[in-house]
Amino acid sequence: MNELELAVAFLAAVVGSAINSIAGGGTLLTFPAIVALGVPPLIANATSTVALWPGSLGALWGYRRELSGARPWLIRFTLPSLVGGGLGGWLLLRTGNDAFTRIVPFLVLGATTLFLFHGPIMRWLRGHEAPSDVAETPGAGFVLAQFGVAVYGGYFGAGIGILMLAVLGVMGHVNIHQMNGLKNWGGLCINLVAATLFAVSGVVMWKLAVALAVGSVLGGYLGARMAQRVEQATVRRAVVVIGMAAFVWLLFRPV
Q: Under a CB-based contact definition with an 8 Å cutoff, are residues 183 and 165 in contact? A: yes
For every one of its 255 residues, what pLDDT tens digit does the chain have, with 9 covering 90 and above?
A: 899 999 999 999 998 888 776 666 778 888 999 999 999 999 999 998 888 887 777 667 777 787 777 788 888 889 999 999 999 999 999 998 899 999 999 999 988 888 788 767 667 656 655 444 445 666 788 889 999 999 999 999 887 887 887 788 777 776 777 787 888 898 889 989 999 999 999 999 999 999 999 998 888 778 767 766 777 678 778 888 888 998 999 999 876
Enter the pTM of the model.
0.81
Distances (CA, A) of 44 to 33, 138, 157, 193, 210: 9, 35, 12, 17, 13
Count how many domains the chain has.
1
Expressed as residue numbers, the domain containing 85 is 3-252
Are 28 and 112 spatial neighbours (Cβ–Cβ below 8 Å)? yes
Query: With contact defined as beta carbons under 8 Å apart, do 205 and 43 qualify?
Result: yes
d(CA 173, CA 3): 47
Burial (CB count within 10 angstroms: exposed 0-12, middle 13-18, buried 19+), residue 75:
exposed
